[in-house]
Every structure is written in C-alpha cells, then in structure tokens.
Chain A
Amino acid sequence: MKKKIVSMVLALMMMMGAFVGCGSNSSAGTASTASATNGKTVYPKGKVVIYAYGQPQYLQQYYDAWLERNKDIASGVTIEIVQTKGADDSRQKVTTTYLSGSYDDLPDAMYIDPVNLMDLAKGDIVKDETALVTPLVDKMVSGAANDAKFQGKIYGLPDSVRPQMLFYNKQIFDKYGVDPSQMSTVEGYIEAGKQLKEKSNGKVYLSYIDPGSKTWRYWGRRGLMPQANAKIWDDEGNVVIGSDSGTKLALGALDTMYSQGLLLKSTIMEPALYDATRKGEVATFDIGAFWDEFLRKNVPETSGQWRVMSAPVFKDVGTAGAPVSSYFAIVNKKDGVYAGLCEKLWKDFNFDSTSRQEWVNKMVEQNAPYSNPISLDMLKNKFWKESSTFYGGESFRAKESEFLQNGSKNLVVTPQDAEADEIISAELEKYVAGSQSMKEAIANMDKNLKAKIGKAKIEK
C-alpha cells in the first residue's frame, strides 16, 4: 500500500515536471515573425511581457481594453505585466537576464526612470527610438524626451512627465491660522513649518523624512538638489558635491527642517505615516506628484482637506521643481516580434484621447494611480481640467500641467549614477539616523564618490 502511494507521488511529480517544462516555452514558442497584410502589421499569437512598478495591475486594464480594440492586428496576443520593486529592480532583472543569455525570458518592454535607462542604454539593452520620438517631440510637453538621450540618440519613449508639487492639508493650516501662501519659497515653507510646530505645541509636523534611501531619491535627487541648481559632477565628470554651493543650499534646507524637528521620521510607505496623516499630524507633502495616489489610496478619510501648489522655490534660484520623467523602453530582444506592438501601444496610450480618458475614469473610481498625458493635444481637452472633490473642488489635473512651467533642470544623469546614488544615500541615511552632521555627510559623500567612482562619464 505504502509503496503504491510513493510510486503515485513520483509519477505525479514527473507529470508536473513535464507540465512545467512545456509551460516555460509558451511565451516565445509560437511566436514567428510579424507579418504585414493590407499595410497593417499583424502580430503572431503569444504573450507580451512588460516590466512595471508602482501598482501596474491598473495598467493591465488599459492593455486589455487595447487588445480588445486591436483584434485585427493582435488577436491571440496577451499582455502580462511583471511587477518589480522599482526601477532599480527592473534594470537589475533585465540586466541579469540579458547576461544569462536567456533572451526568451526578457520582457518586451519596461517602464524605467532616467538613471536606470542610461545604464541600460549604455549596455545596448534597450532599443534606439530616435526615429519614432524625434517627429513627436513638438507634440509633447517640453523636455519630455530630454533624459532619454544617450550619445545623441533617444532610448526611451516618454511615458509621463510629472512636476514637483506641494500637497498641503488646508484644514490644518486653517486650524492653526498659518498662511499657506508663504510656502511659495523654501524659506517660507520652513517658516510655515516653524509656525505650525509652535502653534500646535509640537503636534504637527511640516512633513516627513525617510530613514532609508527614499530621502535621497525624493528630497535629494528629484527635489531640492535640482531646485538649488546643485551638482554631483562638474562638466568634466569630476566629483564636486563637497564644494558645490547648490548642494549646500539644498541639503542645508533639509538639515534646517530636520534639525528643528519639523520632519516626522517615518518610512515613507508605511502605517506610521498613514496614521500620522490621518490624525492630521503631517501638514504637507512636498516633491512628487505621486503623493496624489498615496493620499487617495491610503488616507481616503482626508478627502477634501488637501490642496496643491507648485513646489516651493529657493529665493536665490527661483526655479520650481524639476519634472520627473519616466520612460517606456523597448527591450532589444533577440528574435522579439512585439517591439512594433509595444511602440503602437505607447503611441495610443499617449495620443489616443478617448481610450486614455476612459481608463483614467476607471482609475478615479478605484482610487488608483494615473498621471497626466504627455501629449499637448490631449491636454487641451477639458477633461484634463476637471475638478476633484479630493482637493476640495480644485482641479488636480489642471494643476499638474500648470506646475510643469518654470521647472528646474534635472541633475545630469551619467552611467555612474546608479552607484553614486547608493554612496550618497548611505551618507544621508546616516545623517537622518543622527550619527553625523549634514556637513560631515556631504564631506563623506565627496570623499567616497572620489574613492569608489573617481570620475563620471558625462555624455555631451
């Protein structure tokens, strides 16, 4: 009896093995080449794989609708989104897969940020899209393709350009009688924080600071650094962060806020921050349009209390937040047949108004993330100026477009920046942890960048 069970288990395992063996080929197995009939490219049956991060399951709704509409060219095609932890993770996965030579397992396309896109472009892992993007540049919000350039070519399809903005809880400001309009400058922003702290007896924080790598990513690289016109490298690629006056200004402002107790130390996407926000203890969220999703999703109770304004500017510099671009990159996949399909998908997503609006409406219903389109034509539609109850009747979408103006220039991105981010963030994290002063942190960043990287390769 027992023997029978064992042999049955073994037989079962064998069958499962065979089953798994078959399954692994299905993604690429049947894909032959794309064929052209009646001037239309028809794609073979199979699966398109796209790497994405954030909450990509919501994008799937757009893709599925798109496949439904495009049955004539893509019947039998399915799109699978693979969720990664973030842009770093996507790059890491694609690079290791590329390195392992298992090209079938590469995604067809991926969402990516400028720093990581640069790294992939350097390794020739993503497709050169100069021909497709160049004629469209005029139709997109300005600067949309800027960060995708490497050696004169454009490697990513612009997916979104979002401004830096300041979210503030109007109810808190009203309660303590603090004037939010003073927050148009960083200096005023800090002042508002001091007033809030004083009037609430230390209960209300101006904002948050993350003990991990997100402080450098959001407050630093995306936020205060570009606004203060700061530099990690000079034009030749030498490390200058230690002597740069912009860095001193940017990180100095962060230091002022943190050392005066205006920032709640809390990991960015975790319950402590939701709770504090819910209880009205965090008055503002600066830098990053993604706070829109954060607030809608995690603290829906605070609906109606929030307002947005442009990210505060440094008095001496005067430019607002640097726009954050994200890209949709087509992977250079050997024998891949879906590059054209992914390009079309991108083009429709960004230039086909009706379908985009339908999708955004669905997102609003589900409190899900979406961002403004990059197409200027699409933005003219009044849909993108509709008011939002979450922001007390103000139009978040209109503001998102408006705040793109007067943006600062983003930090120069070099192929060395992925590593530089780790080195810089490590020092900043130690500062947040209280084990060194900001002055020491900056000095250490400089020292360690010089020791571990030496010189960055700046593309001109």
Chain B
Amino acid sequence: MNYRTKIRLQNILVYSILSIIVFFSLFPVVWMCIISLKDTSESISGFNSLWIAHPTLGNFSKLFNAIPIWTNLYNSAFTTLLGTITTLFFCSLAGFAFAKYRFPGKQFLFYFVIATMLVPPEVGSVPLFIIMKNVGLINNLWSLVIPRIATAVGIFYMTQYIKDVPTEIIEASRIDGCGDFKIFTRVVIPIIKPALASWAVLTLIARWNDFFWPILFLRSSKKYTLMVSISLLPISDGLSTPWPVIMAGTTFAIIPIIVLYLMLQGLQKAGLTTGAVKG
C-alpha cells in the first residue's frame, strides 16, 4: 500500500465518520420538522413517521390557538437579547479589569470567581425564590436577566481573551488622555469583537433554551417563555395534545435559534472556534 492510497483511505474514513456524526446530529431535528407537517390523522408510529402523505400547516394554526405563542416568542426574544447584551457588557468589563489592571487581591478575587462556578446557583432555589419575591421580580421577565448580568464563566472567558490584547495600545490611549471606561468602550471592545461574537452566540443559545429559571420565576401564561409554554403541551390531565401539534410547538421553539445561529455563524469569518476558551 503506497502513501497515496493510505491517505485516500484515511480520508474516506474521516469523511464517513464525520458524515455519520452529522447525520445523527441533524436527524432528530429533521424528523421533528417532518412530523410537525403531518396531518393529525396520519399515523406517526414507527416508519410511518418518516414521510408525509398530506403535508399541512394546520398543526401550526392549532398550536396558535392552544397557547399564546407570539407573546411567548416575544418573551423569549426579550430575555434572550437583553440577557446576552448585558452579560456581554459586564463580563467583558470585569474581564478587562482582571486582565489589564493590577490591584490588591486580584489573584484571590479571580480564583474566587472561578470557584463560584463549582456551586450551581440552582441549589439555592428555595430562598432565591423568596428573594426574588422581595425585590418584586417574580413573574417579571427581568428576573431572568438581572441575576446573570455577570457570570463567572463569562468573566473567565473574557479575561483569557483580553489578556491577549496588546497592553501597549491601552497604554498609548491612556497617554492620549482616555479615561478608563473610555478605553474599555473605544479601544478594548473593538479589538475583542470576535470573542464577543462567539460568546454572544453561546449566550444566545443558552438563554433561549433556559428552562429551569423560567418555570420557577414565571407564573402566568402571558409571561412564559417559549420553552415553558411548549413543555406544557404534551401532558395535560385526562386529555392530550396530538403529537404533530406538539412537534409544531418544538419546531417553533427550535427553528428561530437555529436560523439565528446559522446567520451569526455565516457572519463570523473563522467560525465560532477562534475565540473559544484557551487553556
């Protein structure tokens, strides 16, 4: 076996494994979309679920009758966008401080930030609920935004990235008379745009898919985010929502974020990975 055939074999192996992985990654999503277009009277058990005899959008209109989905969509978009923007700003601000300043206790405080990642805030959900009530944030979309304005993992990530920003540029602008905050907004932010973009994508995804906090803090269907609303679709005491309608709901919840992800992915020249976590 010569070198070239070896390379070719290797290539075949690489592409087939990757194709299998892509297949398994995409299949459940595609399958969901198929079912959401099937008429409710069609059987969806076993192989019947793989093709559509009478494609219909009827499930979506049934879905719109069942839950206030546009309001839910708005709620999801509101918390996701606002949550992402605020967290990007405050995490990079703190990251800037940790990466480019010297101040007493810096090392300790940075390790402290990292250590907080080890205790999930969810364990304190019982008192957190009461605290939220006292600050008037129960059943308020801001309850999903404010506690996570600055997250440990975000700060860690931003610090790692901002460390690579040349200190000379910062010093130069300081000499030009820029204040600290101005340096951050005018100098640092433009440089770390790729990192902000990657982190934005990841935060958008995480916030959109958030489930635990919304079910805890939101109390009425008008305030529910999409995830909460669709999670209520399948199980209903004594009666059921037909599967295609449920699938219409999950499709409705998943497709917007996929589209957004693909768009942002297209915008970034080097893809998500450039700015990702460094060791």
Contacts and interface: CB of A to CB of B under 8 A. Distances in A.
A and B found bound together: yes
Interface of A: 9-10, 13, 16-17, 20, 23-24, 49, 53-55, 57, 80, 82-87, 93, 96-97, 99-102, 105, 269-272, 275, 278, 288, 290, 293-294, 297-298, 301, 369
B200 interface: no
A76 to B, nearest CB: 18
Interface stretch (B130-138, B149-157, B252-260): B130-138
Nearest to A101: B133
**Interface range for B:** 35 or more
B45 A24 contact: no
Contact of A100 (B44, B132, B243): B132
Given A97-B138, A102-B139, A87 B219 contact: no
B261 interface: no
Given A269-B239, A271-B43, A100 B129 contact: yes
Contact of A105 (B130, B141, B220): B220
Contacts of A93: 219
Contact of B239 (A55, A82, A278, A301): A55
Contacts of A272: 45
Interface of B: 41, 43-45, 65-67, 78, 81-82, 85, 129-130, 132-134, 136, 138-142, 216, 219-223, 232, 234-240, 242-243
B237 A105 contact: no
B145 to A, nearest CB: 9
Nearest to A24: B140
Contacts of B220: 49, 82, 105
Nearest to B68: A80
A53 B237 contact: yes
15 contacts: A9-B85, A13-B85, A17-B78, A54-B237, A55-B239, A85-B237, A87-B237, A93-B219, A99-B130, A101-B133, A101-B138, A105-B139, A271-B44, A272-B45, A293-B238
Contact of B81 (A13, A87, A269): A13
Given A97-B138, A275-B43, 13 more contacts: A16-B78, A53-B237, A53-B238, A80-B221, A80-B222, A83-B221, A84-B232, A86-B235, A99-B130, A101-B133, A105-B220, A288-B238, A294-B238
A290 B239 contact: yes
A100 B82 contact: no
Given A83-B221, A97-B219, A369-B239, A17 B132 contact: no
Contact of B221 (A24, A82, A86, A96): A82
B190 to A, nearest CB: 10
A99 B129 contact: yes
Nearest to B133: A100
Contacts of A82: 220-221
Task: List the 8 closest A-B pairs by CB distance, nearest first.
Answer: A269-B240, A86-B237, A100-B133, A290-B238, A100-B138, A105-B219, A102-B138, A105-B139
A57 B85 contact: no
A294 B130 CA distance: 40
Contacts of A101: 133-134, 138
Nearest to A96: B129
B243 A270 contact: yes
Nearest to A301: B41
**Most chain-A CB neighbours within 10 Å: which of B41, B232, B234, B240?**
B240
Contacts of B134: 101
A298 B130 CA distance: 43
B139 A53 contact: no
Nearest to B221: A82
B195 to A, nearest CB: 17
A452 B141 CA distance: 37
A117 to B, nearest CB: 14
A83 B222 CA distance: 11
Given A83-B221, A294-B239, A57 B66 contact: yes
Contacts of B78: 13, 16-17, 20
Nearest to A102: B138
Given A57-B66, A102-B138, A271-B43, A85 B235 contact: yes
A59 to B, nearest CB: 12
Contacts of B138: 97, 100-102, 105
A24 B139 contact: yes
A187 to B, nearest CB: 28
A398 B221 CA distance: 37
A168 B67 CA distance: 34
A53 B44 CA distance: 25
Nearest to A85: B235
Contacts of B44: 271
Given A100-B132, A102-B133, A293-B238, A83 B232 contact: yes
Contacts of A53: 236-238
A20 B145 CA distance: 14
A57 B65 contact: yes
A272 B46 CA distance: 9
A96 B44 CA distance: 38
Contacts of A80: 221-222
A97 B215 CA distance: 12
A63 to B, nearest CB: 15
A274 to B, nearest CB: 8
A298 B242 contact: yes
A303 B274 CA distance: 61
Contacts of B236: 53-55, 83, 85-86, 269
